[in-house]
Amino acid sequence: MSVTSPAAPESHLFSALAMGGMHFPNRIVVSPMCQYSARDGVANDWHLQHLMQLAMSGAGLVMVEATAVDARGRITHGCLGLYSDAAEAALSRVLQAARAVAAPSTRFGIQLGHAGRKGSAQVPWEGGGPLKAGGDGGAPWRCAAPSALPFAPDWHTPEALDEAGIEGLVEAYVDAARRAVRLGFDVIELHCAHGYLLHQFQSPLSNRRDDAWGGDAAGRDRLPLHIARRLHEQVPGSRVLGARITGTDWAEGGLGVDDAVRLAQGLKDIGFGYVCVSSGFVVRGERIPFGPGFQVGLAAQVRRRSGIATRAVGGISEPAQAAAIVASGQADQVALARPFLADPRWVWRAAETLGITPYYPPPYRRAAGLRKPAMAADA
């Protein structure tokens, strides 16, 4: 898929972006953010208000949180899923409401994933550790993984997937993608990062298999690329396929940026439009250098070496910082998560800071310009 932008935009951050036949009004993305508030994968009123307020932001793309392709692919009992008719119907209600309050050009995407050995966990505000039998967080379940290796010594030992299990997993991804297409999502993203199942297959720290789904780099990449091909067969060319990938495991013997470039090239060859470059979390105890834009350099390398459009994420919070990332060619989009939780109107602030008129929903137009004095005082 080609990536183009108009000549001489007022601001690179607010310039239009085309991936294939789909246009995005700006380069700002609301990152997928787990809410841990569903019941058996089914969205509710919490998700309704969450997505509606983010939809009003004016971001070019709003991503729904990591959504499990089957029940045991959830991280917690509260994680969103797209593996049942009930889950599909509930998410349809949420998406329709979000579209109704969004700018006409805002796009919506969904991130499909599977927690693998990091599933059957408590919600973060209850500690985030593995569920225990008889505990308050709900009944634990047997997790799936490439190898029977726990995430950490105090975590449960997962079941190593056999051929039938892998086949069932692939079909679960395909079924979830079909549901996402029916729901009308513009973007469908494959989650291959953060230590979840497809990342577990890629990383030598978690995949110790000696069959076709492990061993060398080609074997460890095989499952993510196989699922990517199956999704490409199911998703119309008018939609955009992407993936969140791992730039580095931040651990000795783990994945590095060369592995990210190789996977990105494979996804590009299949027909994926972009990759979002994240990192870490496949094992406990990595030394991750958290800080402003700490993963941007990884996205820049993947973009330069693979030629695929990239999205930078992690430690991006200020409008000038986001604009500089795009203007310097380090990434084609920037994704923000916690800044949007703190300020769902972040895009309005960014536009006014950069001298651009943002999109305001008509009932909120009276708020135009009210943020400028606060920003000037902060500066």
Element (H, E) at 375: helix 372-378
Burial of 8 (0-12, 13-18, 19+ CB in 10 A): exposed
CB 5 within 8 A of CB 17: yes
Query: Which segments of the chain are extended strands (E)?
Result: 3-4, 17-19, 22-24, 28-30, 61-68, 107-113, 144-145, 159-160, 187-191, 240-246, 274-278, 309-313, 333-336
CB 119 within 8 A of CB 70: no
Please say if 196 is a catalytic residue.
Answer: yes
Locate tokens 């932008």: which residue? 5
d(CA 303, CA 245): 13
End-to-end CA distance of the chain: 40
In 3D space, the residue among 313, 305, 327 whose CA is nearest the CA of residue 276 turns out to be 313
d(CA 26, CA 309): 14
Among candidate residues 196, 274, 360, 364, the one labeled active-site is 196
Catalytic positions = 196
